[in-house]
Structures are given as C-alpha cells and as structure tokens.
Structure 1
C-alpha cells in the first residue's frame, strides 16, 4: 500500500510520545519522592505521623478502645516486639507477640505504678514469670521489657510497656518519651472532661438562680389570677410548666436559637403577667439564624438580667429589644434594655468573678461562651448608669461536634 510508510511513521510517533509520557511521569514521581527530603527528614515525618495518629485515639483518655488503636501506632514507632498500655486496674491494650505475658504484666508493672519511675525488666525475671523453660540443649529464651509510667496531674494512672529481645539505653529513653507523650494526651483528655463538668456545674448554677427568683414571683402572679381570671391563670400554669420543663431538662449542653427564643417567650409572658404594661418587648429575628446551635440557657439569663436589674428598678415602663441576624460566619444576637444600666467598673468586676450575688447569670454566660468558642467570643456589653444596657453575643454558625 502506498501510504504504509506514513502509517508506520505515525505509529512510531505515537509510541515515542507514550514512552516520553511514561518517562515524564516516572521522573515526576522520583522528583516528588526526593522532595520528601533526606532519610532523616522522612524518618521524622514518619514519627510525627504515627504520633498524630495515636494521639487521635487517646483524645478520650485511657480506655480499651482508644488504647488498642494507639498501641498499634506506638509499637510501630518504637519498633519493639510487643507494646502494652495499662491503667492502674488492668491491661487496656496489647499489640504484638508474647501475649502469654499479658496476664502477668500488672505484677511486672507493680513497682512502676507504685513508685512512678521507669523500670527495665531483664530476661531472667520474665522467663521465670512465664514459667517457660528452654528445650534441652536449645538457646535460652530471651525477652526484656521497659515499663514507663503514665502520669496525669502528678498521679500515676497507668504504664507503657515495650518488649524486645534486648533492651538498650535507646529503647529505655524512647519508651520513657512515649509514656510522657501519652501522659500529655491523658491530661488533655482530663482537661476536656473537667471543662465539660464545669459547664454542667454552671448550667446547674443558672437553674438554681432561676428557682428562687423567678419561680416564686411567677407562682405569685399565677395565684393573683385564680379568682379574677381563671382562664388566664390556667394559661400561665401551662406556660410555667413548659418553661420549667425546658430549663430543667437533663440532656444536652447545647440547644438551637429557636428553642432558646421559645423559652424566652414563655419567660416574658410570665413576667408580663407580673409587671403588666411596664415591660414592653420587641423582637427582630432573621429566619436563617434560627437553627444556629448555642449553649443551653445562654440567652434566657441575659433577658432575665435585663428584667431584674434593668427594668425592675426603673420607674415607669421599660423596653427590651431582642434581635438576631446573619453576620457572615456568625449569628449575632443582641439584647438591649432602656433600664437603669450599671457602672462599667462594676461590670468589669462582675465579669472577672469578683462580685458575688447579683448578675451571676451575666458572668456565667460570658464564661461559658469563652470556654466553648475561645477567649475572643465572650459577651460584648455596653452600659452606663441611667443609659440602659446593650449585650451582644456572636456564635459560629458552623459548629461540628455540638449537637442541639
């Protein structure tokens, strides 16, 4: 065929291009491998990656599920035959060989748990503990261990134990460092737990604040309508029941803005039954922020503060304005009253926790917002004597891990 040389040339060109592409990809892969750095840098990356993976599994503290996953990463990091993690009561995780030692580990670790110092257990002691005897004429069984304490707030809460045929100074140092690293993860987990307990305690404090002030006044207001307006009294009883049911619920540290506003509506309905036209309320709420998650009982105490400390001491009627709008990545909520206001120096003392009694709800909400979202997310309060009070609260609209 006359055009066969052209076809052959085209085929050769395609093959050449394919070879060039393969070579190009290979060079790129080789270059990317070199970009990982030297052997030492790659070893550092591997170490940090393993530590990061293990840390994720210890976020909840020392428990069997997390310890088992972390032990795999830490054994790979240390390059030992077996690695175990314990608390003070028993073995939480064992990864690797020599599992016949697992029932004996707590006895081997007793001195470390009691004294808090890293120990090396030599082969003869382990052989005796295992009850293992080498076969006649066979090589002696050799296995050694490094056992290092896990500490949390100066308490020994467990150990890390690494097993290898021979233990040198390098492994002793490495196991001690790993145990110190695990200690930091456990302390962070305990800190998270203590912050959660603190938040729960603060919510209980808010509920205790509601009880003596608001409940007594609400019941008096309801009682005043029993003879004069029984239908109104029944309505208020229902609202009071709904308010207390929400305020004293036992589940969850978070709620939605919509739920908190419903609670505030019931609260203000009961307060208006007591104050009549002296309390005037206006609301401006953007629908798109109603589903925003906020800490439970974070708005109601601010409104109660406005009523009790702003309007109750004021002569004549007073107004409370509640607004919520979209502000980019945040939902911004403001609560403003035209009450008596307060001295800014007194306000600073209240927020710093130096003033007991009054305004405990204000301080409590400010502290909880800072704990949950960071120091930059506390309440912004503008006030002066005789000038009323404006409180602004900003919360992120996206909050992974916070369920209402």
Structure 2
C-alpha cells in the first residue's frame, strides 16, 4: 500500500470522526434548545425577566431618581426603537436611538394629549419632530393619570399600541404596590408609636419613686437604677429601624425588670433560660418587652404575693421560639380572645399590637399563642423565622 493510499485512508477516517462529532454537537444543541422550552416559552421568560428587573425602579414613584433606570427594560419589553417615561414634571428618561431633544419634544406633546383625554394617543410625527411615529399610553393610579409611557416606532402598528397600553397598566400596578409598601411602613411606625405611648406614666412614676427611696438609704443602688432607667427609655424611644435582635431586646427587658424589682422587692422573681444560639435572632422591635410588661402589670401586680416571670428561648430548627410565662392571676380565655380582636379594651393593647404585627410580618400562623386560665398564670409563645435576609439588612444598617 502506497503512502498516498494510507494518507487517503487516514483522511477519510478523520472526516468520519469530525462528522460524528458535529452530529453529536448538533443533537446536544437541539436538546438544549428543547430544554429551554419553545420559542413562545422563551419569549415569555424574557418578558418576565425584564419586568422583574424594571419593577424595583418603579416602586418609589415616577418622580424618584430610580425610575429612570426602568426605561431601558420597558423598551426591551415593548421591542420599540425608543421609549420615553413621562411623569407629572416632564420626561423622566428616554432610552433608544434617535435625537434625544426631538424625541423629548414628541414625548411631551403626546403625553400632554394623553393627560388631557385620559386615553392612549398615536402621533404620526407629521410635524417632523423626529421623523417617527409614537404611541402614548396613560399610567393611571387611583383614577388619575400620573404618567405616560411613550413608545416610538416607524411605523406604529396595532400590536405596539396594545403592548404600550399593557405596559402602562403594569407600571401603574408597580406604583400602587410602592404606595402600599410606603403605607405599610407608615403603619408600622404608627404601631411603634402606639407601643411607646403605652409605656405607662404610672410605671414611670413608680420607677422614679423607687429610685428616690434609695437616694438616702442606698446611694449606689439609686445610681444603678438611674442608669437602668436611662437604658430602658433610650431603647424604648429609639428611632432606628423596625427590627432588633433578641439580645438587644433582652437587655432592655433586664433594665425594666430591675426597676420593677426595686418596687416589688422579693415578691418579683425572674428566671431566664436563653439558648445562646438564639441571641442573634432578628425580631420585631418591642415585641418581647410588651409581653413581659403585661405579665408584671396584669399577671403579678394584682396579686399580693407577687410571683415569677420565666423568659425562655430555644432553637426550633427553622424558627426561634420565645416564651414569657408568669404564675400570676391569669385570665378567662374568652376574655383573652376578645381583647386580641377588640379595639376598645386598652388594658392589653401592647399584647394585641404585638400579635397584629407578627401576623402582618409572618402570616396568619405567625401570631402569638397564649395559654391562660383564671388563677393559673399565663404563657405567651411566639415563633420567629431564623432566616429573614431583608430584616437582617435593616438591623445591620442602623
């Protein structure tokens, strides 16, 4: 066999191997495409992805600096050559190709017509502002046109008109969600103010009276109590954040109980069983402290003998379980049920407030669990999720 024949045979084998490899690659690519779904499914995924990227930038309102960052994603959603987002104060931002000043002039003119009519408007661009057609769709919140989405194309087709209207409606939904978030934040702040207002003047008077009683008989003890009182009020009236850690809340509870023990003396006993791994748990600010105050004020104070407060926490896999128990007078379970749902009884507003906030944050199953009976004391249990990334950031960012 000559060298030429051998070389030809080797080249034939190599060509066969290369063809096999190409076929395998083609098969894998085809399978990979099928794994990603059909063309329609992939287009849906891309649209949802773009919408998720735009949404956070709209939550603060069209007048917020962040809103301008949404325009690029809106243009990708619409597939138009350019998109303008127009707010009450004028054009927020424009993304796309073309002369910016000309596009701005068209966008402002179209937006004005949309605001006047409250309906979508199509501009043929006959006056030569940009040489392109545009469609404007109103962003309506609470019955008022708060902005306009203007999409440019040459020409504007019916599909783009429909898409612009849908995108404008979606933008309106994001703005409404942003307003809802702001309302929730304002409500949370109002609830905290309500809790702070429940720090009883009677307790403050009693605490100061107890401190005064030690000024002459035990000055070092009086100084300690003054510092405890300062720590308690500083924590209770702090301005930072809606969340804290269990460790910080327990420090404030310690100050509160020291002040109460100065008044009760040996009639008030306190036991703690805190699992060390739970101390870093992020909890709503003023969520455990009102429960402890309620136990002293309504559980132990009515009885002449006083009693014991037991505060415990344990790691329960995905949650931290916190309990506050007293062996005081207890209460009728039916009355307890009524006070947790009533807005009239102000005696236990702190407990009701904590229960409401926990349910808002962690769902219907996240509220307080209370066990009580007349003459049998009261046990209050709360379960806090250990994983709260957004709330962790709130605490760290104080």
TM value normalised by structure 1: 0.87
Inter-partner Cα distance in structure 1 for 2:119 and 2:205? 58
Q: Which runs of 5 or more residues in structure 2 are unaligned? A: 1-7
Contact 2:311 2:324 in 1 (8 A): yes
Within a 5 Å distance, the mapping from 1:339-354 to structure 2 comes to: 339-354=328-343
**Would the alpha carbon gap of residues 62 and 372 (structure 1) be closer, same or farther in structure 2, given more than 3 Å must change?**
farther
**Would the alpha carbon gap of residues 20 and 353 (structure 1) be closer, same or farther in structure 2, given more than 3 Å must change?**
farther
Inter-partner Cα distance in structure 2 for 1:218 and 1:368? 28
1:324 equivalenced with 2:313 (yes/no): yes
Inter-partner Cα distance in structure 1 for 2:37 and 2:223? 76
Q: Which runs of 5 or more residues in structure 1 are unaligned? A: 1-7, 131-140
1:117 equivalenced with 2:119 (yes/no): yes
Counterpart of 1:79 in structure 2 is 79
Q: CA deviation at 1:44?
A: 2.7
Inter-partner Cα distance in structure 2 for 1:233 and 1:164? 78
Counterpart of 1:220 in structure 2 is 209
Q: CA deviation at 1:85?
A: 1.6
Counterpart of 1:133 in structure 2 is none
Inter-partner Cα distance in structure 1 for 2:121 and 2:326? 66
**Would the alpha carbon gap of residues 316 and 145 (structure 1) be closer, same or farther in structure 2, given more than 3 Å must change?**
same
Counterpart of 1:366 in structure 2 is 355
Q: CA deviation at 1:323?
A: 0.2
Q: CA deviation at 1:315?
A: 2.6
Inter-partner Cα distance in structure 1 for 2:18 and 2:121? 61
What CA deviation, in whole Å up to 9, does each residue of 1:213-267 have, x standing for no partner? 4322211221222232222211111110111111111111111110000000000
Q: CA deviation at 1:168?
A: 3.2
Q: Quick one: which of 159, 162, 178 aligns to 1:170?
A: 159
Q: CA deviation at 1:367?
A: 1.3
Q: CA deviation at 1:13?
A: 8.1
Q: Please state whether the residue corresponding to 1:401 is helix, strand or coil.
A: helix
Q: Tell me whether 229-238 or 254-263 shows the greater mean CA deviation.
A: 229-238
Q: Tell me whether 381-390 or 291-300 shows the greater mean CA deviation.
A: 381-390
What CA deviation, in whole Å up to 9, does each residue of 1:331-364 have, x standing for no partner? 1100011112222222222222433311111111
Q: Please state whether the residue corresponding to 1:358 is helix, strand or coil.
A: coil
Q: CA deviation at 1:169?
A: 2.9
1:48 equivalenced with 2:48 (yes/no): yes
Counterpart of 2:100 in structure 1 is 99
Q: Please state whether the residue corresponding to 1:319 is helix, strand or coil.
A: strand
Counterpart of 1:161 in structure 2 is 150
What CA deviation, in whole Å up to 9, does each residue of 1:348-386 have, x standing for no partner? 222224333111111111111122222221111111222
Counterpart of 1:278 in structure 2 is 267
What CA deviation, in whole Å up to 9, does each residue of 1:274-306 have, x standing for no partner? 111121110000001101111111111110011
**Would the alpha carbon gap of residues 172 and 300 (structure 1) be closer, same or farther in structure 2, given more than 3 Å must change?**
same
CA RMSD of aligned residues (A): 2.7
**Would the alpha carbon gap of residues 212 and 93 (structure 1) be closer, same or farther in structure 2, given more than 3 Å must change?**
farther
What CA deviation, in whole Å up to 9, does each residue of 1:154-191 have, x standing for no partner? 33322211122332332222111101111111111111
Contact 2:86 2:111 in 1 (8 A): no
1:236 equivalenced with 2:210 (yes/no): no
Inter-partner Cα distance in structure 2 for 1:166 and 1:308? 74
Contact 1:285 1:325 in 2 (8 A): yes
Q: Tell me whether 20-29 or 72-81 shows the greater mean CA deviation.
A: 20-29
Contact 2:110 2:121 in 1 (8 A): no
**Would the alpha carbon gap of residues 23 and 222 (structure 1) be closer, same or farther in structure 2, given more than 3 Å must change?**
same
Q: CA deviation at 1:68?
A: 2.8
1:338 equivalenced with 2:338 (yes/no): no
Inter-partner Cα distance in structure 1 for 2:264 and 2:108? 67
Q: CA deviation at 1:98?
A: 3.8
Counterpart of 2:57 in structure 1 is 57
Contact 2:59 2:179 in 1 (8 A): no
1:23 equivalenced with 2:12 (yes/no): no
User: How many residue pairs align between the two structures?
Assistant: 386
Q: Tell me whether 83-92 or 176-185 shows the greater mean CA deviation.
A: 83-92
